[in-house]
């Protein structure tokens, strides 16, 4: 008896280590290692002939924040990410609410319906958007034939197309996150509010929304990060004249300018992190009041 009692804590410690170990190792080797390397590269210098020269210089960062072209890409990325995330919250909440509260026996089918868009690869999805939004696409031709517009309507290769594309990808993440949180909020709480005289709007503002805020925060973080780092959608739907951060990194990388590419990657990561934390703090303060 004493033997098992004394060895039990040691064994739990070992078990815990065995459970946490592999994932920690993968994260350490696969993420932190390359990240450290990238950090090192970002302060190196670029040379057209030798490509990368070891140095410790802020040059790449300075270049990014002084060049209007890169700054424009930076602001476009933030603007589109904020907008897409906001639309995902506004459009996703009602959908998530219906999914969470439905008594329908087709509930599982509905959830699959929400997830189905994610089954389609980015390239295939973009091709779909092209046939819908292109100048000879379904929407343009329909509008023209119906006499609503004259001449082709070009939505492809525009900010609007990119926004639509990103929302279509991100919305399922928001809906699923919110749905699981709303399901955890007892329907009785809503009914209690109603019985005390709260209209549906008041109930939402005072009960449902504050209680769903942790889910809203989680969904916001998820969709915001996805939008900030979107690659295929801006490239395929935005066209060559449209610039967001993730494609920019790859472009620089293609040009063999690893130091600048690394610096842009770090700026993207830092700004994503900063905005996410800011959003987190904002929601938490709202939650307290």
Partner 1 sequence: MARLELNALTKRYGDFHAARDVSLDVPEGEFLVLLGPSGCGKTTTLRMVAGFVEPTAGSISIGGTDVTRLPPWKRNTGLVFQNYALFPHMTVAENVAFGLEMRKLSKAETAEKVKGALDLVQLGHLADRYPRQMSGGQQQRVALARALVFRPDVLLLDEPLSNLDAKLRQEVRIEIRALQQRLGITAVMVTHDQEEALTMSDRLVVMSEGQVRQVGTQRELYETPASRFVAGFVGRSSFLEGELRDGRLVTQGGLALETPKPVHGKVTAALRPERIAVSAEPPAEGTNVFPGTVELVSYMGGLIDLHVRLSPSDVVVAQVTNQGGGTLPATGDRVYLSLGSPAVFPASDPHARGH
Give ∠ CA 203-204-205 in degrees, rounded to 5.
95
Interface residue with partner 1 among 16, 29, 32, 192 (CB under 8 A) is 192
Q: Does 193 bind partner 1 (CB under 8 A)?
A: yes
Least distance CB 185 / partner 1 (angstroms): 9
Should residue 199 be labelled a site residue for partner 1 when binding is judged by CB under 8 A?
Answer: yes
What 3-state DSSP class applies to 52?
strand
The answer to whether residue 194 forms part of the interface with partner 1 (CB under 8 A) is yes
Map the footprint of partner 1 across residues 229-248, applying CB under 8 A. none
For the chain, report the end-to-end CA distance as a whole number of angstroms: 52
Q: Which of 31, 191, 274, 282 binds partner 1 (CB under 8 A)?
A: 191
Interacting stretch for partner 1, rule CB under 8 A, among 18-26, 124-132, 182-190, 240-248?
Answer: 182-190
Residue from 210, 251, 276, 279 that binds partner 1 (CB under 8 A)? 210
- Per-residue x/- mask for partner 1, residues 60 to 99, rule CB under 8 A? ----------------------------------------
**DSSP secondary structure of 219-256:** HHHHHHHHHHT--HHHHHHH-TT---HHHHHHHHHHTT
CB of 189 to partner 1, least distance (A): 5
What is the C-alpha separation between 39 and 269, in angstroms, rounded? 11
Burial class (CB in 10 A: 0-12, 13-18, 19+), 26: exposed
The piece of 138-146, 199-207, 225-233, 270-278 that touches partner 1 (CB under 8 A) is: 199-207
Tell me how many helices (H) and strands (E) the chain has.
Answer: 14, 2
CB of 188 to partner 1, least distance (A): 4
> Using CB under 8 A, which of 206, 239, 273, 278 touches partner 1?
206
186 lines the binding site for partner 1 (CB under 8 A): yes
Q: What is the footprint of partner 1 within residues 249-288 (CB under 8 A)?
A: 287
Residue (161 or 212) nearer to partner 1, CB? 212
Q: Which long-range contacts (CB under 8 A, 24 or more apart) does 82-87 make?
A: 82/224, 83/163, 84/163, 84/166, 84/167, 84/170, 84/223, 84/227, 85/170, 85/220, 85/223, 85/224, 85/227, 87/163, 87/167
* Alpha-carbon span 109 to 89, nearest angstrom: 22
Binding site for partner 1 (CB under 8 A): 186, 188-189, 191-199, 202, 206-207, 210-211, 287
């Amino acid at each position: 008896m004493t033997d098992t009692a004394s060895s039990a804590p040691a064994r739990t410690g070992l078990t815990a280590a065995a459970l946490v170990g592999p994932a920690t190792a993968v994260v350490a080797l696969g993420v932190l290692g390359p990240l450290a390397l990238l950090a090192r590269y970002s302060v190196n210098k670029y040379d057209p002939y030798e490509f990368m020269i070891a140095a410790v210089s802020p040059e790449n960062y300075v270049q990014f924040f002084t060049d209007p072209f890169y700054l424009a890409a930076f602001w476009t990325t933030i603007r589109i990410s904020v907008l897409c995330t906001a639309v995902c919250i506004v459009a996703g909440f009602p959908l998530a609410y219906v999914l969470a509260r439905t008594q329908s026996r087709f509930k599982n089918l509905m959830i699959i319906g929400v997830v189905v868009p994610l089954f389609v690869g980015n390239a295939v999805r973009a091709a779909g958007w092209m046939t819908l939004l292109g100048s000879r696409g379904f929407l343009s031709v329909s509008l023209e034939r119906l006499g609503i517009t004259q001449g082709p309507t070009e939505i492809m290769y525009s900010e609007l197309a990119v926004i639509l594309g990103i929302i279509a990808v991100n919305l399922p993440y928001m809906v699923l996150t919110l749905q699981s949180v709303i399901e955890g909020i007892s329907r009785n709480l809503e009914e209690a509010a109603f019985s005390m005289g709260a209209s549906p709007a008041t109930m939402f503002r005072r009960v449902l929304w504050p209680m769903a805020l942790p889910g809203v925060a989680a969904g916001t973080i998820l969709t915001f990060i996805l939008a900030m780092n979107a690659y295929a959608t801006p490239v395929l739907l935005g066209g060559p004249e449209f610039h967001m951060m993730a494609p920019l990194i790859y472009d620089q990388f293609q040009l063999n300018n690893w130091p600048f590419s690394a610096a842009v990657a770090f700026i993207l990561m830092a700004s994503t992190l900063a905005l996410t934390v800011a959003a987190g703090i904002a929601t938490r303060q709202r939650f307290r009041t």
